[in-house]
Amino acid sequence: MQGVWLVVMGVSGCGKSSLGVALAVGLGLPLIEGDDHHPPANVEKMSRGIALTDADRTGWLATLGRALADSPQGAVLTCSALKRVYRDQLRAATPGLRFVFMAIERAEAERRVAARAGEHMFPASLVANQFATLESPAGEAGVLAVDATAPLGVLVGQVKAWLPAG
């Protein structure tokens, strides 16, 4: 699929990377893994269990916005995009940008993040902060909310069905 720019968003542990990979493959688009673009200082903070601030995220979001804009054929980006201002920053870089919000309960997100301890920079102790920071994108234009606990194939089908109409 050409000309589709999509952000798979939500708190840590919701399954952004899994859905992002599946959508990128299924849509024939490049994947931009948001976590790979954090500056070393952000990675160090998160690894130590320190939550990122808006200031920490500003440069990271600018980098992600440039990566989207530099993908003229479209792309799938995985990014928490927890606040409306963060989503608006990405929208400014890529008009027509769409978001898939992976909704999940806090306990399930904490369980998933704890299960991958040692494999990911983000500790389970920061999940509560992400929920505190999250401003639901429900009601924003170009947003599809999905149940993050649904099977991956179901989620891919929901997004593909939504894209032509969204």
Rounded-to-integer distance, Cα 131 and Cα 117, Å: 19
Residues β-bridged to residue 75: 5
Do residues 56 and 45 touch, judged by C-beta distance below 8 A? yes
Q: Give the model's pLDDT for residue 107.
A: 92
Report the first-to-last Cα separation within the chain, whole angstroms: 14
What is the domain-level CATH number for residue 91? 3.40.50.300
Rounded-to-integer distance, Cα 116 and Cα 91, Å: 31
> Which tens digit of pLDDT belongs to each residue from 138-152?
899 999 999 999 999
Q: Specify the pTM.
A: 0.89
Q: How many CB atoms lie within 10 A of CB 111?
A: 13
Give DSSP secondary structure letters for 26-68: HHT--EEEGGGG--HHHHHHHHTTPPPPHHHHHHHHHHHHHHH
> Which tens digit of pLDDT belongs to each residue from 67-116?
999 999 999 999 999 999 999 999 999 989 999 999 999 999 989 888 87
Domain limits for position 111:
4-162
Q: How many domains does the chain fold into? A: 1
